[in-house]
């Protein structure tokens, strides 16, 4: 799905990533690498191959767009370094794009580790009239791209049927990105009058008609 914000074109992908056409930037939030290894360490029955799923999805979405830069909107790694850092380090060596991290609350790994991988880190980033942060932020004269919340939407069907989907959640001056990572969960938001919801399905992103 393609949307326009402040006269810029953005392609929303069902993975939860968005491609900023004019800037050739791929925007991704809340990957939470290392979380699967953390779960497995504490006895949760998650297949080992699930660790590689995030990287497969990253490669898939990178193959769709001619991005020159990847910007992660925080919570790139879930917590302390574990074995998944080695997979991430190897992955960074396979991509040609510049990688930038806008720090999130889970990003506690030493900046030196990221510097060793040529990853730039910022507390926030301003590009034209767009403010890129991890936590949702309101600032006059800027449109905010952010993550952190892992937005989802619950749709009511016939009877007592409900469908729960991750989504891009758009407010008049803000777009909250869904979590890109596996096993991260959702926080279900209730749209207000001027909000828009772009829900993720397996095949596409669809705008939900709000009543």
Among the listed residues 211, 202, 209, the one whose alpha carbon sits nearest the alpha carbon of residue 166: 202
Domain that holds residue 161: 2-208
Tally of domains in the chain: 1
Q: How far apart are CA 58 and CA 39, in angstroms?
A: 21
Q: Provide the percentage of residues in the chain whose pLDDT is more than 70.
A: 84
pLDDT on residue 67: 98
Helices in the chain by DSSP H: which ranges?
Answer: 35-41, 53-64, 84-92, 111-116
d(CA 67, CA 14): 17
pLDDT of 118 over the 50 cut = yes
Average pLDDT over every residue of 134-146? 97
Backbone angles phi, psi at 143, to 5 degrees: -100, 130
Give the Cβ contact number of residue 128 at 10 Å.
12
Out of 13-17, 159-163, 172-176, 199-203, least confident range:
159-163
Q: Is the pLDDT of residue 43 over 70?
A: no
pLDDT bracket for residue 81 (50, 70, 90): low
| DSSP assignments along 76-109, one per residue | SB-SS--THHHHHHHHHTT--SEEEEE--TT--S
* Percent of the residues in the chain that have a pLDDT greater than 90, as a whole number: 64
- Say whether pLDDT at 49 is over 70: no
CB atoms within 10 A of CB 207: 15
| Residue owning tokens 């952010």 | 146
Q: Quick one: pLDDT band at residue 42, thresholds 50, 70, 90?
A: very low
Is residue 30 over pLDDT 50? yes
> Is pLDDT at 184 greater than 80 in this prediction?
no
pTM over 0.85: yes
Which CATH number goes with the domain that contains 26? 3.60.21
Q: What average pLDDT does this structure show over 170-196? A: 88
Segment of 25-29, 32-36, 83-87, 156-160 carrying the highest mean pLDDT: 25-29
Q: What is the mean pLDDT of residues 144-159?
A: 86
* Confidence at 108, pLDDT banded by 50, 70, 90: confident
């Amino acid at each position: 799905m393609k949307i326009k914000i402040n006269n810029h074109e953005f392609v929303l992908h069902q993975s939860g990533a968005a491609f900023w056409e004019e800037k050739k930037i791929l925007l991704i939030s809340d990957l939470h690498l290392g979380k699967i290894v953390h779960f497995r360490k504490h006895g949760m029955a998650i297949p080992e191959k699930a660790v590689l799923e995030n990287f497969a999805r990253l490669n898939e979405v990178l193959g769709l767009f001619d991005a020159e830069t990847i910007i992660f909107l925080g919570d790139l790694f879930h917590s302390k370094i574990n074995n998944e850092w080695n997979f991430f380090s190897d992955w960074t060596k396979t991509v040609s794009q510049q990688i930038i991290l806008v720090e999130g609350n889970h990003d506690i790994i030493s900046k030196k580790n990221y510097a060793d991988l040529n990853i730039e880190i910022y507390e926030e980033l301003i590009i034209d009239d767009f403010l890129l942060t991890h936590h949702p932020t309101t600032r006059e004269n800027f449109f905010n791209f952010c993550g952190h919340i892992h937005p989802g939407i619950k749709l009511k069907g016939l009877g007592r049927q409900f469908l729960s989907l991750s989504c891009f959640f758009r407010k008049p001056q803000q777009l909250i990105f869904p979590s890109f990572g596996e096993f991260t969960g959702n926080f279900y938001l209730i749209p207000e009058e001027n909000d828009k919801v772009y829900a993720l399905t397996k095949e596409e992103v669809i705008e939900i008609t709000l009543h």
